[in-house]
Amino acid sequence: MIDSIGPNLVILVVGLLVFAAVFFLIFLLAERTSVKTQEVLRYAVFLGPALLLLAIGLLYPAGRTIYLSFMNKSGQEFVGLENYIWAFTTPEIQIVIRNTFIWVIVVPVFATIFGLAMAYLTDRMKFASVVKSLVFLPMAISMVGASIIWRFVYTFQPDEEKAEIGLLSAIVEAFGGEPNNWLLDAPLNTFLLIAVMVWIQTGFSMVVLSAAMKAIPDDIQEAAMLDGAGQLKRFFQVTIPMIRASIVVVITTTLIGTLKVFDIVRTMTGGNFSTSVVANEMYTQAFRQLNYGTGSTLAVLLLIAIIPLIWYNIRQLRLERTER
């Protein structure tokens, strides 16, 4: 099998070269054509590839998913709104939807707040990159790694004689308390799982917001200082408004990421003990139970869930367009 490194390397190099060559050539040729041709050509070249890939890879499957949500388990029979009714009336699924709401509100808010705090605190710090790297580290660890890490925080040892292996349990015990079976207790367990996601996502928001802060010209801050504004006032009345668009981007991205994440729930509790979220349940329905009807329905619910977010972003975009 090691001898396949050779051919694989060739494929890698060829792939990159072909990609580069194709676009080089296109640009070269396109720049020589007339202005009128370019007016038409630009759509094909700039929008074409992306739209084509998206149509094949996401749009068609999206359509297929919506279609399947009205069909039965194997996708052969039309069942109308049955799957949707199932989703909203089955108690377990109601809990799943409720949990998802909690995730979607808590994760973006806290990840953004912590990221903002870290970005601000390290803005003028020496060795800021070391400190920032530590907070960014969770993003570099795969989901599998993160799940193992937090397993060693939340593990509960039922046998009183034996030592605790989980960090949280050990700390509670050290303070004289009696540790719970953390992952078992709803709704605390949902918040504990959320903590893992916040732990990971803060790195992203910190990095983005930090970059945004660094682009604020010094003299604006200086001017505010000279005007006598204290540090807190400057933060809320100068810094934040100047990076508002970045904050919106961070919240949006984190929110969408939260809607889609299911690894954390799947590996830590398997979705039991009232911790499951829509993305996890969708995976269970479609891939464990081989029920593409209900699985697709849950996916459609995710689609519906971001409509408010889209509306908000449209508003933001329009506001900024008029300000230009």
Q: Does residue 222 interact with other proteins by CB under 8 A?
A: yes
Nearest residue (CB) to other proteins, 81 versus 290 = 290
**Length of the chain counted residue by residue:** 324
CB of 186 to other proteins, least distance (A): 9
The CA distance from 62 to 60, in Å, is 5
Cβ-based nearer residue to other proteins, 97 or 143: 143
Interface with other proteins includes 188 (CB under 8 A)?
Answer: no
Residues 71-100 binding other proteins (CB under 8 A) are 73
Q: What angle do CA 289, 95, 196 make, to 5 degrees?
A: 90
DSSP string, 80-94: TTHHHHHHHHSHHHH
Residue 258 CB coordination number (10 Å): 22
Q: Please state, in angstroms and rounded to a whole number, the distance separating the CA atoms of residues 12 and 116.
A: 39
Piece in contact with other proteins (CB under 8 A), picked from 81-89, 97-105, 110-118: 110-118
Shortest Å distance, C-beta 193 to other proteins: 13
> Shortest CA distance to 199 belongs to which of 256, 254, 262?
254
Residues 6+ apart with CB under 8 A from 97: 87, 88, 278, 301
- Of the pair 102, 179, the CB lying nearest other proteins is at 179
Stretch of residues binding other proteins (CB under 8 A), selected from 78-86, 93-101, 103-111, 283-291: 283-291
CB 196 within 8 A of CB 183: no
Restricted to residues 155-174, the positions that interact with other proteins (CB under 8 A) are 156, 158-159, 161-167, 170
232 contacts other proteins (rule: CB under 8 A)? no
| Per-residue binding letters, 288-307, with other proteins (x by CB under 8 A) | xxxx----x--x--xx-xx-
